[in-house]
């Protein structure tokens, strides 16, 4: 979905031709999987960080085009809304000093971007949902001026037959609302973690990412407030799932045919199963016709980019050769760069350790339980109860300290991550768990002490964010 398209309007013939090309490319991809024709190289890491631009009143500032032009960094791009931007890094080999490289690279880009923002009397905010965002901010007037976003909005509403999107989130409070466009999605900013793997590990890595989603979202939750309502620890999850819903209201909220979901099951023999499901069960949203040979899989990759499973397989190309990546999408942005890199370290270590176990983790944890774990963790954060591979249900804090952090440590060691770096960043996760203080817990503690003033909350949050100190050390 990062690519721009030439037009925002499509004919019926466009949809027909796109579907034919999608089917052809899906068949070609199946041949590649059967023959194992993917990059067999060592693991590679990357990420995407979505952030907010805010003005002097700490409200969303819809000026990303001017900001990006002034910044002049090709690795910073616009997002769906004009008050969001995305930071990227070049992929890095997953080993050695990668964690400090990720931290220093992001820190340098962040400092330069903040300087540009300050020149425009703006500030950057790294947080899952901006506490000060209002329903009125999420309007088509603030849709980024890119064809792909306008087309996405048009096609989702077309598939809904013009019905408004219904928001219905039950957390500490209850929030119900209706929206006539997809701009609710722009309120969900994330830290998306990428893991490129060899083809023989792809199924194990994908399933491990699914299993890791629950503890990862529990430890990283940073989105408790939306429109002044205290909802889930990670309200991004239900908000995003409901913001691009195209089906009927009678569908099961965890049904496999929703465009944003936990998915329909583990991969069994090949990740091809997911791309076949894409072809057979999801209509095209953006039937863009590319002048490219089928081997480049342009239509398949675009279609996959309009399906937002929380763990998603991606096909990329390096020097013309395709590779397989897992994109882990459950982690919110923030609270600090140190926290973000710690979240990535925990994911890489846990995912890799699960991949290396003699008995595949997915054979020990039914998919339905992994899914239940995920929604419990998104709702309750570090207070969640989850079921692990041994079938025992336990507090996620205890599971993290006794089982998962040692697993992640072994995983980073197996990847060849420098020992002191692994210890430092997993130490941040450990302290966060011991203090029961992720971003969501800190925000709620601040409001409990100072009252539900969302502007004051954000001001205090940004002051601490800019210090660079991890969230478990923040005072309230």
Please tell me the predicted confidence (pLDDT) of residue 248: 43
Please tell me the predicted confidence (pLDDT) of residue 3: 57
Nearest one of 363, 193, 169, 167 to 249, comparing CA atoms: 167
Task: Locate all alpha helices (DSSP H) within 197-271, ordered by sequence.
Answer: 202-220, 236-243
Residue pair 104/340 in contact (Cβ under 8 Å)? The answer is no
Residues of the chain with pLDDT under 50: 1, 248-256
Q: What is the pLDDT of residues 136-161, one digit of tens each?
A: 999 989 988 778 788 887 888 787 78
| Cα–Cα distance measured from residue 409 to residue 346, given in angstroms and rounded to the nearest whole number | 8
HSE value, Cβ hemisphere, 13 Å, CA-based, for 87: 26
How many other β-carbons are positioned within 10 Å of the β-carbon of residue 348? 26
| DSSP state for residue 286 in the 8-state scheme | -
Please tell me the predicted confidence (pLDDT) of residue 249: 35
Q: What are residue 138's phi and psi, to 5 degrees?
A: -90, 65
Please tell me the predicted confidence (pLDDT) of residue 194: 98
Q: How many residues does the chain have?
A: 476
Rounded to the nearest 10 degrees, the angle between the axes of helix 12-35 and helix 272-281 is: 160
| Cα–Cα distance measured from residue 318 to residue 322, given in angstroms and rounded to the nearest whole number | 6
Q: What is the pLDDT of residues 252-271, one digit of tens each?
A: 343 447 899 999 999 999 99
Please tell me the predicted confidence (pLDDT) of residue 10: 86
Residue pair 315/29 in contact (Cβ under 8 Å)? The answer is yes
| Cα–Cα distance measured from residue 431 to residue 472, given in angstroms and rounded to the nearest whole number | 7
Instruction: Decide: helix, strand or coil at residue 188.
Output: coil
Domains of the chain: residue spans and CATH: 12-463 (3.30.590.20)
């Amino acid at each position: 979905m990062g690519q721009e398209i030439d037009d925002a309007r499509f004919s019926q013939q466009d949809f027909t031709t796109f579907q034919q090309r999608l089917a052809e490319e899906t068949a070609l991809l199946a041949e590649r999987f059967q023959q194992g024709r993917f990059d067999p190289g060592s693991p590679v890491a990357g990420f995407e960080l979505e952030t907010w631009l805010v003005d002097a009143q700490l409200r969303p500032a819809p000026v990303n085009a001017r900001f990006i032009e002034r910044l002049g960094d090709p690795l910073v791009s616009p997002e769906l809304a004009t008050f969001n931007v995305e930071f990227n890094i070049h992929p890095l080999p997953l080993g050695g000093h990668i964690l400090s490289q990720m931290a220093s690279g992001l820190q340098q880009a962040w400092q330069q971007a903040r300087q540009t923002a300050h020149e425009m009397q703006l500030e950057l905010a790294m947080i899952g949902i901006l506490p000060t965002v209002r329903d009125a901010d999420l309007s088509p007037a603030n849709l980024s001026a890119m064809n792909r976003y306008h087309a996405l909005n048009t096609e989702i509403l077309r598939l809904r037959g013009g019905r408004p999107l219904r928001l219905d989130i039950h957390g500490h409070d209850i929030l119900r609302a209706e929206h006539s466009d997809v701009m609710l999605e722009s309120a969900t900013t994330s830290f998306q973690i990428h893991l490129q793997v060899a083809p023989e590990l792809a199924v194990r890595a994908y399933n491990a990412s699914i299993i890791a989603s629950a503890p990862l979202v529990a430890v990283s939750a940073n989105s408790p407030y939306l429109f002044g309502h205290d909802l889930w620890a990670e309200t991004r999850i239900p908000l995003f799932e409901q913001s691009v819903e195209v089906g009927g209201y009678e569908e099961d909220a965890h049904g496999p045919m929703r465009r944003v979901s936990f998915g329909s099951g583990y991969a069994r023999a090949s990740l091809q199963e997911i791309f076949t499901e894409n072809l057979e069960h999801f209509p095209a949203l953006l039937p863009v016709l590319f002048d490219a040979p089928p081997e480049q899989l342009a239509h398949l990759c675009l279609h996959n980019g309009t399906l937002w499973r929380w763990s998603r397989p991606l096909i990329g190309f390096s020097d013309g050769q395709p590779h397989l990546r897992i994109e882990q999408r459950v982690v919110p942005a923030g609270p600090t760069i140190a926290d973000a890199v710690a979240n990535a370290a925990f994911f890489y270590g846990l995912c890799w350790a699960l991949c290396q176990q003699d008995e595949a983790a997915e054979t020990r944890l039914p998919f339905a339980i992994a899914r239940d774990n995920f929604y419990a963790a998104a709702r309750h954060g570090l207070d969640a109860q989850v079921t692990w591979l041994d079938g025992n249900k336990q507090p996620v804090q205890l599971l993290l300290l006794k089982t998962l952090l040692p697993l992640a440590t072994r995983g980073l060691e197996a990847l060849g991550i420098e020992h002191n770096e692994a210890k430092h960043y997993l130490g941040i996760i450990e302290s966060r768990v011991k203090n029961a203080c992720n971003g969501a817990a800190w925000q709620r503690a601040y409001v409990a002490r100072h009252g539900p003033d969302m502007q004051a909350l954000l001001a205090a949050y940004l002051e601490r964010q800019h210090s660079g100190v991890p969230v478990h050390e923040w005072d309230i």
